[in-house]
Structure 1
Amino acid sequence: MRIIIDQATPAASLLFGSLGEIQTIPGRAITSEHCRAAQAVIVRSVTSVNRELLTGSTVQFVGSATAGTDHIDRHWLQQQDITFAHAPGCNATAVVEYVLTALLWLMVREGCLLQEKTVGIIGVGHIGSLLNQRLQALGVTTLLCDPPRAERGDTGPFWPLSHLVQHAEVLTFHLPLQREGPHPTWHLLDEELLAALPDGRILINSARGALFDSAALLTALAGGKTCRVVLDVWEHEPALSLPLLSRVTLATPHIAGYTLEGRVNGAFAVYQALCRQLGGRPGVDRASLLPNAQQAVTLSGPWRSEQLKPLLDRIYRIERDDAALRAVADQSGAFDQLRAAYPARRECSSLLLVCDQEQTAQQWQRLGFQAVVR
């Protein structure tokens, strides 16, 4: 079979090479002509898969090595009897660690403790749930907002967004982009919400750019709204609003979920689905796609929260991504080039913490690290 693959998909040859002839192409450059004689298309979030891309093609399988699916016309694929697979939760750990890194960077900058803040989590799916677990393990108070889950009667408690706006110092958004339906999320952060938001709040969007009305946000910030904004996703990306970029506190080029582990998880989930489609069993083991723990760190005594940021700094320095984006933001194509050349960022699980107390090791494990007692 012929397989078209976004070139940002890790281990593409190793995973898909045994299943057919592969052609890797930059995601935004994949066209209907590329797909015409293909039987499978593997994309990431920058490729829109719809009638325009696949009409007249021989494609029988579409895989997105991502958690989100708003770039996929799933209804049309179903009508055409084209199998679709994606990777829910594949980058949950990556995004959670991005958010924690951003928050701890801000806390150090402002001379306060994260445990002194209440964090409002808007959208409590794979990412929001894991973020809630990690924050609670740190002793941080959280407020959860997820109307669909609240309506289903899921365990909460879940609060209205208006409650989080008034009572949470941090609002972090983890929602799919939905323009219609009972709970639309497009421009959820709009002029009205910004007007209701008390000064001094922290806003984080690492989900979908259009959850925020960027024009309204820019107007509020330019008009003196004193909130700190962390943006990894942008409403019109890869185009950036340079005036908005100049006013946000931390800015990154849609890489919150771009850890090596997260990307491998996404690719491997689609690989497994394609193997099932072909009636075979996977011939590659996920563990073989990841290197072993990159370093060991010895920790003595009981667990202390102030140890977390130095450990995260060993893995990821968010300020470097911020500086890299600002340095080239006015250059054509820079946003995609930063993503394409993004280094292999690792997750907390890539560190091995050697502790001398069992309780200490267990606490680090709750925060996603490998931890042993010796």
Structure 2
Amino acid sequence: MARLTAMSVATLACDPPSGREGGQAGFHSLDALIEHCDVLCLHTPLTREGPYATYQLLNAQRIHDLAPGCVLLNAGRGDCVDGPALRNRLAGKGDISAVLDVWENEPEIDAGLRDLVSLATPHIAGHSLDGKLRGTWMIQQALARHCGQPNELTFADICPPPALASLHLQHALPPEDALRLCIRAVYDVRRDHDALQRQTQHSGMRKGFDDCRANYPLRREFATLNVMLSGEAVALEGVLRGAGFSLLL
């Protein structure tokens, strides 16, 4: 949420456990989000019991209540969404969009739903090369301190240069176009979508899904791209910095 806020995106949060502990300040009910949001993002764990169970959190009724034009993004757990109900809404009215990274019954996911969503990815989560290396480096740093050993290794020492290190923007662009350009320069999610379609159609659902995960290409973080802004493009500083890109002015 902090990154979205930095990009001047209006956000509403629904987190019942945190909201209860904090007296509900700043939090909203899921039904309120469904009523007001243009984009609904799920990042929930899967819990089947208790007061905050998330199994079928987005059930048939809530999927029915999604406003026309809404984009549903599920990057939590597949069983948090009623897949058949979502498939029916997409195939019937066709007035909402869906982006799914997680699915019911992985790796035997619903081929019909796969073909109806705008973007389908094979539960790739958020692990970038930089994140994995940073975690390894932090363990190395802690071990060196614990053993009382000198340690001059920096994160930069183990982080390889990205395939594309810099981009120069000079002309005025709508913020959404600038974001699309810079994001795709680092990571183009359409490649993952195409790979999942191709592999599952060629090798069968289970093997294709698992192959996509097992052979997932390296992905870098936005901060690895240095974006140089000059001329009219300087006006893009706020939104690009908020998204996490490294800026050169």
Q: TM-score band (shorter)?
A: 0.7 to 0.9
**How many Å separate the matches in 2 of 1:172 and 1:286?**
32
- How has the CA–CA distance of structure 1 residues 336 and 147 changed in structure 2, closer, same or farther, with 3 Å as cutoff? same
- State the 1:226 CA deviation: 2.5
- State the 1:299 CA deviation: 3.0
- How has the CA–CA distance of structure 1 residues 361 and 202 changed in structure 2, closer, same or farther, with 3 Å as cutoff? closer
Q: Quick check: 1:232 aligned with 2:122?
A: no
Q: Quick check: 1:367 aligned with 2:243?
A: yes
The answer to whether the 8 Å contact 1:362/1:371 transfers is: no
The answer to whether the 8 Å contact 1:200/1:226 transfers is: yes
**How many Å separate the matches in 2 of 1:267 and 1:187?**
36
**Residue of structure 2 in register with 1:318 after alignment:** 189
Q: Quick check: 1:296 aligned with 2:130?
A: no
Once the two structures are superposed, the pairs formed by residues 183-332 of structure 1 within 5 Å of their partners are 183-224=52-93, 226-268=95-137, 275=143, 280=147, 285-292=154-161, 294-300=164-170, 305=175, 306-330=177-201, 331=204, 332=206
Higher fraction of helix: 2
The answer to whether the 8 Å contact 1:203/1:228 transfers is: yes
Higher fraction of strand: 1
- How has the CA–CA distance of structure 1 residues 138 and 329 changed in structure 2, closer, same or farther, with 3 Å as cutoff? same
**How many Å separate the matches in 2 of 1:304 and 1:227?**
24
Root-mean-square deviation over aligned CA pairs? 2.9
Q: Secondary structure at the match of 1:144?
A: coil
How many residues end up aligned between the 2 structures? 240
The answer to whether the 8 Å contact 1:191/1:217 transfers is: yes
The answer to whether the 8 Å contact 1:261/1:290 transfers is: yes
Q: Deviations over 1:180-201 (max 9, x none)?
A: 2221111111112112223332
The answer to whether the 8 Å contact 1:303/1:363 transfers is: no
1:309 maps to amino acid: R
2:195 maps to amino acid: A
**Residue of structure 2 in register with 1:355 after alignment:** 229
- State the 1:155 CA deviation: 8.1
2:182 maps to amino acid: L
| Structure 1 portions without partners, runs of 5+ | 1-131
**Residue of structure 2 in register with 1:59 after alignment:** none
Q: Deviations over 1:154-176 (max 9, x none)?
A: 78521111111111121011111
- State the 1:325 CA deviation: 0.6
Q: What is the percentage of aligned positions where both structures have the same residue? A: 35
In the superposition, the TM-score normalised over structure 2's length comes to 0.82
The answer to whether the 8 Å contact 2:122/2:213 transfers is: yes
The answer to whether the 8 Å contact 1:137/1:366 transfers is: yes
In the superposition, the TM-score normalised over structure 1's length comes to 0.57
- How has the CA–CA distance of structure 1 residues 172 and 233 changed in structure 2, closer, same or farther, with 3 Å as cutoff? same
- How has the CA–CA distance of structure 1 residues 289 and 218 changed in structure 2, closer, same or farther, with 3 Å as cutoff? same
**How many Å separate the matches in 2 of 1:267 and 1:323?**
31
Q: Deviations over 1:36-75 (max 9, x none)?
A: xxxxxxxxxxxxxxxxxxxxxxxxxxxxxxxxxxxxxxxx
The answer to whether the 8 Å contact 1:301/1:360 transfers is: no
User: Relative contact order: is structure 1 or structure 2 higher (C-alpha 8 Å, sep ≥ 6)?
Assistant: 2
**How many Å separate the matches in 2 of 1:226 and 1:146?**
27
2:243 maps to amino acid: L
Q: Secondary structure at the match of 1:141?
A: coil
Q: Deviations over 1:85-131 (max 9, x none)?
A: xxxxxxxxxxxxxxxxxxxxxxxxxxxxxxxxxxxxxxxxxxxxxxx
Q: Secondary structure at the match of 2:89?
A: helix
- How has the CA–CA distance of structure 1 residues 175 and 325 changed in structure 2, closer, same or farther, with 3 Å as cutoff? same
The answer to whether the 8 Å contact 1:240/1:329 transfers is: no
The answer to whether the 8 Å contact 2:166/2:228 transfers is: yes
The answer to whether the 8 Å contact 2:99/2:118 transfers is: yes
**Residue of structure 2 in register with 1:170 after alignment:** 39
